[in-house]
Chain A
Amino acid sequence: MPRKSWRESFALCSPIPFDTGAQHEYQVLQVISAILKDHSPDLDGAAVETFRRELLKLPAGTLGRQFFWDNWGDLRTVIEELGDSSLQDPFRLTRTFLERAMRQKNPVEKVIADSERLRT
């Protein structure tokens, strides 16, 4: 704004309530970041299993839970493809996962994704 610094603008706008929930992409990043942060020592060689276990533990109503469950096959593939290098970078893992999960899938891929879906 012409006559306000960003600090002033922040001070003015931050108390205004923000009712909209977090965006889908940000939810996914938050979940992946949390898993990577909490389980960084266990991830070497067992990243897929760790992610699977942690995603299954997500309580109902958790942001993004259904998306992760529905697209578990894509996440598993991305983790395997990126290897251990990706496990230090939640942004890269999230970006690649979202690109893969949100692309248009053909009928065969849909069937495969459905068969790989996480279930309790």
Chain B
Amino acid sequence: MVGDALQAGVQNEVLKRGRWVAPKGGIVEGIASKPRFALRPTEIEFFDQVSKQVQSFRVEGMEFAQPRCLKLSLDAETVRLASQAADDGQHEFLDAGLLSATAELTTAEPESKPDGFTVGSRNAWVRFLEQCWPTIGPRILAIANGPASTIEDVRQAFLPAKEHPYDSGLATHFYRERSQQATPADVVSTGIRLDGISAEVLQAIADRDQATRSCTEVDAALALATNPKERSRSNAKLSAVRGISLSSARNLPTCSAPRRSLKRRSGTNKLTFVAPRHSLFFFRLNTSLIQDILRTP
């Protein structure tokens, strides 16, 4: 039942004029041919090629009135809703370009019936916005005037309403920080960075172990030294090596932290990460110093 012929017939009548011309049904012209089997549909669908949306109407009957013409009897409720929507002047929105053609069709959907919950929510929002308007109004208006506004702007605009004494929970969804689903490319790139940092951490651990071994060797040499002059020089060297080794070891956790963070974040597909490369650089600098000191005669 979905086709250009139906659109050409019913949609012209229903949408472009913004009201139902026929009170209980419509004539659809341009039907290619009568189906060979009997059809008793209870619902017809129209496909809006502009919005790519399908809109449904309940029907009570359908017959081929004449060649290439289809007569539809609309369901009573559908007719009532559609008429009411038209009388409410929604065609003005359509004329003003505020609503898409498809939008008006939705008034005929059974699900668009006003109910207590919807009206209650609407009223609560009106009350909430009016009460908070002196506080949040300027930002909301700025968003309305700024086509480049983002959802983050909306969040920031609603944040002051969090302290609202009566209904602050109403805008809870606006208080949350925005989360963004990472693309597969983001996950791969994060994984590559994680691998790079893991390699640097391994290198730093190896450097630390090397420094520890050097300390042990100096300790052993110190134990064997008998000349007081040599002993004093070895002591000074050992103190320097230990001090540098300890500071390097202290730097290691700051080097491992981003790796853990990145691992965790890559699991949740979050992309914020700053690699503390200065820490790694500092660590490497220290290990180089240790090696230089050890090489000094």
List residues of chain A with CB under 8 Å of any chain B CB: 4-5, 7-8, 11-13, 15-16, 18, 20, 22-26, 28-29, 89, 91, 94-95, 98
Contact = CB atoms under 8 A, between A and B. Distances in A.
A46 B104 CA distance: 51
B179 to A, nearest CB: 18
Nearest to A25: B131
B138 A91 contact: yes
Interface stretch (B9-17, B93-101, B218-226): B93-101
Contacts of A12: 106-107, 112, 114
B69 to A, nearest CB: 31
B176 interface: no
Contacts of B119: 13, 16
B137 A91 contact: yes
22 contacts: A4-B106, A7-B103, A11-B107, A13-B118, A15-B85, A15-B88, A15-B89, A20-B126, A20-B127, A23-B130, A23-B131, A25-B130, A25-B131, A26-B130, A26-B133, A26-B134, A29-B134, A29-B137, A91-B134, A91-B137, A94-B134, A95-B135
Among A5, A11, A16, A22, max chain B CB count under 10 A is at A11
A95 B132 CA distance: 9
Main secondary structure of the interface of B (DSSP, over half): helix
B92 to A, nearest CB: 10
B118 A23 contact: no
Contacts of B93: 11
Nearest to A29: B134
B114 A16 contact: yes
B133 A11 contact: no
A7 B89 CA distance: 15
